[in-house]
Structure 1
């Protein structure tokens, strides 16, 4: 049997493929004589071939190829596949040159596609041509044909599972990365740590609160920097009516002999000041600044209305720290305090003081002690310390003393009016050797001075040498210092009740306080 007459099965049985065909390399199955199983011609198997073995239609196509495609489509008859027919069950289907077993010509309708034109679709029942043969892929479908000739498409469930796996892996990787970046180390640091932002709510302070009082009083408080020829120091003060500044005598004493006083206000502006007058006996002084920059004055209160336990506020410049505010209460009243004395009797101050536990330190001297209404009730002047040396003064131990403002008011008025202040006195000398109850008037003259000044306030009230003074205005006196403090706290012209003892009998008299033009801090 020639190659043209071999069937596909016979080719495959011999292990040959179309590429094995000798000659030009053209596969015999590419020739027009090889037709799909469902195609046939209306003539015998050998009809339609030319002398050179080509199909008649193909030859015609070649002849008319330069005129364009020739439509060879014509309707053919196809016998039914009836039982017993040429294509009955059990008989092999024609193809690859085979003819029906009956030798009859097969007449089937067939559509012959043009030789030149669009590629025809694949036959619906093409026989396999070997392990390396397959129907052409559907146009636009891409490659990938499975073993059964169908394109492999992943199932929806597979895609869902794959997406979940990818998402899970990404989440795990992200979590691990975040942990590695933000995990705290052994040093206790945490890069992600933060605190909440500051609240924006505004807190309202009551006018009588410490903050409210301080806000009103601070603009009136000043700091003093004093430079003298042989000494220097710092202190505090406060503005009163007329632009005057009240302070302590011991704060400005260094500038008396050609020194300078520089005043700094709460707004940081400065001015030079000069001493108007001072009273060493009460440790008070008045300074007039060149410019007060319009700073407000501070109101003065009434120290006679102060009671133990009242809240107080101390404001000043301790250790040069201007604008310092401390709080406390009134610890005691009429506390006799003697301060100074380093330079002699003229520098000794006798103060009937207000005691407070508000912190008062060096530099607070001259600053105001105010009540809850923001009124001055005293001038901070002295503190008690555990150190016995005045040059090595310690800090506050809760024992501070202020000059009562009623005494300050009188002394300041006298200084502004006359340049000096009168010292209150009653004209007696005290027996410093007496140790009993009360204070005893000296019995004998000393250095030509009588124990009771002739014509003085005590003499006019009937007091005599040797009398023992027990009380002044109802306040018991225990030593000479207390008596001096009580007398100094009175204004000249004040009348005081004195209870005294003479020959074992207690008597009472009224003494009008007099004044000394020269402040001599001696018993009087």
Structure 2
């Protein structure tokens, strides 16, 4: 089943890999150009269409200009960005400051002349030496000290240039988790280099990646690494404090704080042909290009999300930095997908076996009435067919959670696993009923 829309006049498919979608109304959660990947790229960004901007990848790798999903625009380029400010730039600032001080001093001496008055001592009292105070458990400083050694930055060189992003140690034997859009540029013969917190670098090889979940695993030869613990994202509540760690704008080891500002936010991330559907945690912790793939951790230092996309103001042609709306892939989804990528190099996702009509206006989401691109509205012998769902039926809710947009149903299903059972509230004509659906399995791209 392909739950992504390629922007052409085809119906949204939540059934079969490779199916497309028809004309779609603007998604209130991911309207044209509303989101960007938070990543650094060297290629120029594609100007987004007018209207509300979608999430931006905090770490999107470079890609040649092409058709852009109306809900996502690639993150802006940052040529050569890798380890933050260049020493030369810092030195330049220092020279300017010192030069200004010197000129000012000479000018003052010439205007006023040598002083003949007694000048008081310029010596300042020394700082009081006190023993180092330990930061309390759960403080941001304590969390940062625990997490930072396990967070890495990635530099990916491919045919289209160099991109940077973030990641973190998943296992002590060298496995590292990041976003697919961070490493996609190095998937076909490119080079991936991992920079660790202690300053050393290691080449990495791609273990597996999935466009559908925007996750990837790479491996270095280093052993004895310190992994971060994956927490339970299902236990996260709105208002919980969180800390985002990564390399925004190439500034390695950057820590920002905030709260979880919303749950179950349906976010389309990626370009038209590579759309990921994320049932995202929303946070107001500052996330910028380069943060993609880095961890979002709770007060215990456990990873509850993988930072993946940021919102963009309406009409903005380029990423303008954090506006307090960042989106992270829940850790429970990341755990399930990472295990599959490490074991098999590919991941699977659940499907119910229907095509959804993006042109439908009304309560709930509607199954298309007619086959699309040679695919049936309801897959024969699929989960929905077995549950009695028919073309033209309207799905009102999943497990008691109302759905009003196709993306809401898609991400709610994607957040589950094949074999899970869901209850769908379905309307046929004027009659409403609850049906039990056992999710089927499809292989991710």
| Fold shared per TM-score above 0.5 | yes
Write out per-residue CA displacement over residues 251-292 of structure 1, whole angstroms, 9 at most, x where no aligned residue: 000001211111111100110001000011110000001225
- Counterpart pick for 2:378 among 440, 452, 455: 452
Q: Distance in 2 between matches of 1:369 and 1:450?
A: 40
* Residue in 1 that maps onto 2:246: 316
Structure 1 runs, 4 residues or longer, greater than 3 Å off: 193-196, 387-390
* Residue in 2 that maps onto 1:478: 404
* Residue in 2 that maps onto 1:375: 302
* Residue in 1 that maps onto 2:110: none
Q: Distance in 2 between matches of 1:387 and 1:253?
A: 27
Shift of 1:498: 0.6
**Would you say 1:465 and 2:391 are equivalent positions?**
yes
* Residue in 2 that maps onto 1:340: 270
- Counterpart pick for 2:419 among 485, 493, 509: 493
Q: Distance in 1 between matches of 2:156 and 2:286?
A: 23
Q: How does 1:79-158 map to 2 (within 5 A)?
A: none
**Cα distance change of structure 1 residues 195 and 499 upon mapping to structure 2, 3 Å threshold:** farther
- Structure that is richer in strand per residue: 2
**Cα distance change of structure 1 residues 227 and 180 upon mapping to structure 2, 3 Å threshold:** same
Partner SS for 2:144: helix
**Would you say 1:273 and 2:204 are equivalent positions?**
yes
CA RMSD of aligned residues (A): 1.6
Shift of 1:389: 6.3
**Would you say 1:180 and 2:111 are equivalent positions?**
no
CA contact (8 A) 1:387 1:394 kept: no
**Cα distance change of structure 1 residues 453 and 332 upon mapping to structure 2, 3 Å threshold:** same
CA contact (8 A) 1:387 1:393 kept: no
Shift of 1:199: 2.8
- In structure 2, list runs of 5 or more residues that go unmatched: 1-114
* Residue in 2 that maps onto 1:262: 193
* Residue in 1 that maps onto 2:153: 223
Between 1:279-288 and 1:429-438, the stretch displaced more is 429-438
Q: Distance in 1 between matches of 2:430 and 2:166?
A: 50
**Cα distance change of structure 1 residues 273 and 322 upon mapping to structure 2, 3 Å threshold:** same
Shift of 1:250: 0.3
Partner SS for 1:469: strand
Shift of 1:194: 4.1
- Structure 1 or 2, whichever has the larger Rg, is 1
Q: Distance in 1 between matches of 2:215 and 2:404?
A: 26
Shift of 1:514: 1.2
* Residue in 2 that maps onto 1:164: none
CA contact (8 A) 2:152 2:197 kept: yes
Shift of 1:231: 2.9
Aligned length: 329
Q: Distance in 2 between matches of 1:209 and 1:327?
A: 11
Write out per-residue CA displacement over residues 136-178 of structure 1, whole angstroms, 9 at most, x where no aligned residue: xxxxxxxxxxxxxxxxxxxxxxxxxxxxxxxxxxxxxxxxxx9
Partner SS for 1:181: coil
Shift of 1:461: 1.2
**Would you say 1:211 and 2:141 are equivalent positions?**
yes
| Structure with bigger RCO (C-alpha 8 Å, 6+ apart) | 2
Partner SS for 1:215: helix
* Residue in 2 that maps onto 1:404: 330
Write out per-residue CA displacement over residues 91-132 of structure 1, whole angstroms, 9 at most, x where no aligned residue: xxxxxxxxxxxxxxxxxxxxxxxxxxxxxxxxxxxxxxxxxx
CA contact (8 A) 1:219 1:295 kept: no
CA contact (8 A) 1:250 1:283 kept: yes
- In structure 1, list runs of 5 or more residues that go unmatched: 1-177, 183-190, 520-524
Q: Distance in 1 between matches of 2:225 and 2:374?
A: 54
CA contact (8 A) 2:281 2:328 kept: yes
